[in-house]
A and B are shown apart, each in its own frame.
Chain A
Amino acid sequence: MDQTQITQTFNQQLPGAVVEEQSKFLVIKKESLLAAAKILKDSELAFQHLHSVTAVDRKDKIEVVYHIYTYKYRFMLTLKVYLPMTDLTIESLAHLWQSANWLERETYDLFGVKFLNHPDLRRILNPDVWTDYPLRKDFNRPDFYRLPQTEGLKAA
Chain B
Amino acid sequence: MAVEPKNQKYPGEKFIQNFGTGELIMTKAEDLFNWAKGSSIWPLTFGLSCCAIEMMATGASKFDIDRLGSGVFRASPRQCDVMIVAGTICVKMGECMKKLYAQMPEPKYVIAMGNCAIGGGIFYHDTYSVVQGTEQLGIPVDVHVVGCPPRPEGLMHGILQLKKKIQERGQQKVDLPEKFVMPENALGLMQEQLKIAEQSIKNGTPRPTIEQDQPGHCQNIQPKKPDGSDPDNPNI
Which residues of A line the B interface, CB within 8 A? 125-127, 129-131, 134, 139, 141, 143-148, 151, 153
Interface size on B, residues (CB 8 A): 15
Q: List 21 A-B contacts (CB under 8 A).
A: A125-B92, A126-B91, A127-B92, A127-B95, A129-B229, A129-B230, A129-B236, A130-B236, A134-B128, A139-B128, A141-B235, A144-B236, A145-B126, A145-B128, A146-B126, A147-B125, A147-B126, A148-B125, A148-B126, A151-B125, A153-B125
B235 contacts which chain A residues (CB < 8 A)? 141, 143-144
Check B125–A145 contact: CB distance below 8 A.
yes
Assembled-state Cα–Cα distance A67/B85 (Å): 37
B91 contacts which chain A residues (CB < 8 A)? 126-127
A153 contacts which chain B residues (CB < 8 A)? 125
Check B128–A141 contact: CB distance below 8 A.
yes
A147 contacts which chain B residues (CB < 8 A)? 125-126
A139 contacts which chain B residues (CB < 8 A)? 128
A145 contacts which chain B residues (CB < 8 A)? 125-128
Q: How far is the CB of A130 from chain B (nearest CB, A)?
A: 7
A143 contacts which chain B residues (CB < 8 A)? 235
Map CB proximity to A onto B87-121 as digits: 1 under 8 Å, 0 otherwise.
Answer: 00001100100000000000000000000000000
Which residues of B line the A interface, CB within 8 A? 91-92, 95, 124-129, 224, 228-230, 235-236
Q: How far is the CB of B65 from chain A (nearest CB, A)?
A: 31
Q: How far is the CB of A142 from chain B (nearest CB, A)?
A: 10
A151 contacts which chain B residues (CB < 8 A)? 125
Assembled-state Cα–Cα distance A148/B128 (Å): 14
Assembled-state Cα–Cα distance A155/B49 (Å): 27
B127 contacts which chain A residues (CB < 8 A)? 145
Closest to B124 in A: A146
A146 contacts which chain B residues (CB < 8 A)? 124-126
A148 contacts which chain B residues (CB < 8 A)? 125-126
Closest to B128 in A: A134
Q: How far is the CB of A132 from chain B (nearest CB, A)?
A: 9
A144 contacts which chain B residues (CB < 8 A)? 128, 235-236
Partner of B228 from A125, A126, A131, A134 at Cβ < 8 Å: A131
Closest 3 CB pairs of A and B: A134-B128, A144-B235, A148-B125
B230 contacts which chain A residues (CB < 8 A)? 127, 129
Q: How far is the CB of B152 from chain A (nearest CB, A)?
A: 30
Q: How far is the CB of B7 from chain A (nearest CB, A)?
A: 50
A130 contacts which chain B residues (CB < 8 A)? 236
Assembled-state Cα–Cα distance A151/B126 (Å): 12
Q: How far is the CB of B88 from chain A (nearest CB, A)?
A: 13
Q: How far is the CB of A87 from chain B (nearest CB, A)?
A: 25
Closest to B95 in A: A127
Assembled-state Cα–Cα distance A127/B232 (Å): 13
> 12 extra interchain contacts, Cβ-Cβ under 8 A, other than A131-B228, A148-B125?
A126-B129, A127-B95, A127-B236, A129-B228, A134-B128, A139-B128, A141-B128, A144-B235, A145-B125, A146-B125, A146-B126, A148-B126
Closest to A128 in B: B92
Closest to A123 in B: B92
Assembled-state Cα–Cα distance A148/B126 (Å): 7
A134 contacts which chain B residues (CB < 8 A)? 128-129
Of B128, B228, B235, B236, the most chain A CB neighbours within 10 A belong to B128
Assembled-state Cα–Cα distance A156/B87 (Å): 27
Q: How far is the CB of B207 from chain A (nearest CB, A)?
A: 17
Assembled-state Cα–Cα distance A127/B235 (Å): 13
Assembled-state Cα–Cα distance A131/B236 (Å): 10
